[in-house]
Chain A
Amino acid sequence: MVFEDLYKMYWQKIFRLCMGYVNDHDLAQDMAQETFIIVWQEMPKFRNEANISTWIFRIASNNCLRQIEKQKRHPKVELPLNLKYVKDENIEPEIQFLYKCICELPETERLIISLELENIKQSEIANIVGLSEVNIRVKIHRIKEKLTQKFKENGHQ
């Protein structure tokens, strides 16, 4: 598979994963770019026996996990990369609320629910995170309950 194809296919998915993790548009975009830089570096080592989607989501979620340490080392720099981009103001508040709720979850739950909402099979999520499938199923159920609860408290239907 060519890098350009992967980049086109996975950009939005990876961006959303990062966005669920940090709930900060600019930072998420930077993190998504970092992910693809790693993908580019790791590609020669990719063996076809692995599932490319699992492989790429592992890189992305591991990069999210390292964010804690990076924020310490390089205080966030504002890069006006996409000045023309219109910010989220006119997007339905529900979307913003969902991302906000997800970002408030514990780190691993953020990753798990993001992958689930991205329609990734639970067996694959188990493989990305490194937990059993049963465990993932239980966790997803609980996280969805939490989210529903929060939405209801906030008066959303």
Chain B
Amino acid sequence: MDTNNINFGELWNAKNAKQPATKNLLVKIKKLKRSNRIGLILINIILVLTSIFFLSIWFYYEPELITTKIGIVLTILAMFVFVMAHNRSFKLFKNAKKTQSNSEYLKDLLSIKTKQQFLQTTMLNLYFILLSLGIGLYIYEYTEQMTSFWGIFAYVITSFWILFNWFYLRPKQIKKQRAELNEIINKFENIQSQLKQE
């Protein structure tokens, strides 16, 4: 087929867009850098504040039993795990080399997405286990001071809440994350298959 009678190059080059001033772009870059930094600082501040909150319970109420203390530590640990996982999965993308060829870049993106999937599921499980254990241990000292009826009642309610989290919220969250990631992974795989050498 003759492809020379339509000058695609000419049509292509006729398209232009007003170029934003360099100054504006540099302002944008600075803003982006700042907002990235603020995000990171904010997460860490929240983490430190919650830890301080739990530790102050430790010092203020002076729990006597070791279970309470372990409970507090586990709860803090759960939050650390969560934030760490969040930070790490964010960093993975920063490490993808943006100046490699498209096919290499796609390979990188796919492996990152798979890692992210693993990270999210594992960390979410770990988070829920640590949090449940932590709360379970923490309330022991205080339920012990109650009558056995109210003590058991408190544990039943707490267990119910934990089971609800574990069997309803957790799978729901994982399913949602999976669906999102799978959709992206499928699309990347589809693009990658376009690049198969013929």
* Interfacial residues, chain A to chain B (CB-CB below 8 A): 3-4, 7-8, 11-12, 15-16, 19-20, 25, 28-29, 32-33, 36-38, 40-42, 45-46, 50, 55, 58-59, 61-63, 65-66, 68-69, 72, 81-82, 85, 91-92, 94-95, 98-99, 106-109, 111, 114, 117-119, 127-132, 135, 138, 141, 144-145, 147-149, 151, 156-157
A129 → B minimal CB distance (Å): 5
CA distance A41 to B30 in the complex (A): 11
CA distance A38 to B17 in the complex (A): 19
CA distance A7 to B5 in the complex (A): 33
CB of B42 closer than 8 Å to a CB of A: no
A18 → B minimal CB distance (Å): 9
CA distance A94 to B15 in the complex (A): 11
A156 → B minimal CB distance (Å): 7
CA distance A82 to B194 in the complex (A): 36
CA distance A132 to B20 in the complex (A): 36
Determine whether the beta carbon of A145 is less than 8 Å from that of B3: yes
CB of B163 closer than 8 Å to a CB of A: no
B106 → A minimal CB distance (Å): 6
Determine whether the beta carbon of B194 is less than 8 Å from that of A107: yes
Determine whether the beta carbon of A29 is less than 8 Å from that of B101: no
Which of A82, A107, A129, A145 is within 8 Å of B1, CB to CB?
Answer: A145
Task: With CB as the reference atom, state the residue of chain A lying closest to B19.
Answer: A11
For the complex with contacts A15-B15, A62-B102, 16 further pairs of A-B residues with Cβ separation under 8 Å are A8-B19, A8-B22, A16-B15, A37-B32, A42-B99, A65-B109, A81-B20, A92-B11, A98-B11, A98-B12, A108-B191, A127-B101, A130-B101, A130-B103, A147-B3, A147-B6
CB of B98 closer than 8 Å to a CB of A: yes
CB of B100 closer than 8 Å to a CB of A: yes
Determine whether the beta carbon of A85 is less than 8 Å from that of B18: yes
Q: Classify the interface of chain A: helix, strand, loop or mixed.
A: helix
CA distance A111 to B187 in the complex (A): 16
Task: With CB as the reference atom, state the residue of chain B lying closest to A151.
Answer: B6
* Interfacial residues, chain B to chain A (CB-CB below 8 A): 1-3, 5-6, 8-9, 11-20, 22, 25-26, 28-29, 32, 98-106, 109, 180, 183-184, 187-188, 191, 194-195, 197-198
B164 → A minimal CB distance (Å): 29
Determine whether the beta carbon of A147 is less than 8 Å from that of B8: yes
Determine whether the beta carbon of A117 is less than 8 Å from that of B184: no
In this complex, which of A66, A111, A149 has the most chain B Cβ atoms within 10 angstroms of its Cβ?
A66
For B29, the chain A residues whose CB sits under 8 A away are: 37, 40-41
Determine whether the beta carbon of B5 is less than 8 Å from that of A157: yes
Task: With CB as the reference atom, state the residue of chain B lying closest to A28.
Answer: B17
Determine whether the beta carbon of B180 is less than 8 Å from that of A72: yes
B154 → A minimal CB distance (Å): 41
CA distance A4 to B23 in the complex (A): 10
